[in-house]
Amino acid sequence: VFPAVAVLGAVLVLARHVPVDVDALEAGVARLGWWGPAGFILSYVLLTPLFVPSGGFGIAAGALFGVVRGTVYLSIAALAAATVVFFISRVFLGGWIGRGLKKYPKLAAVHRAADRKGLRLLVLLRMTPLSYPLQNYLLGASRVRFSTS
């Protein structure tokens, strides 16, 4: 809880003391052409697997691209990031995650349940407060099919 409060406090202090001209920022992104959305999507795909909160990206997408285009770009970015995390976990981290789960019996139970009831568990997991990258890492390390996740 303390880290979240500290980050929120830092954001509020910065927002009050660092001037941000949203119109100028939006115009600058528009001048980039297709590089603007591409950079946004790439930033999302590179940062959210590192557990950078995605909420700020949603706000930025709406502010920079408008609600409709921002939603489209955010959806593409979220799907791409989830795919990247899933495959990183499946190919490179599966054994490490499996060994690490021995220390956390509740997460190990989720991992075993993913092997048996992938789709049902996925729907239930998406309604929990666990971060999406963590869920994707866990599901990638399980035997759940990619098409399910």
Name the amino acid, one letter, at 135: Q
pTM: 0.71
Kindly state the tokens that stand for 17: 């003391």
Q: Report pLDDT for 45.
A: 94
Contact status, residue 90 vs residue 143, Cβ threshold 8 Å: no
Please give the Cα distance from 132 to 101 (Å, whole number).
Answer: 17
Question: What are the φ/ψ torsions at residue 18 (nearest 5 degrees)?
Answer: -110, 110
Question: What is the Cα–Cα distance from 136 to 86, expressed in whole angstroms?
Answer: 5
The whole-number mean pLDDT for each consecutive block of 10 residues of the chain, a chain of 149 residues, reads 70 70 81 92 91 86 91 95 88 80 80 75 82 81 70
Which pLDDT score, from 0 to 100, does residue 40 have?
93
The type of residue at 77 is A
pLDDT at 92: 85
pLDDT at position 43 is 93
What is the pLDDT, as a whole number, of residue 76? 97
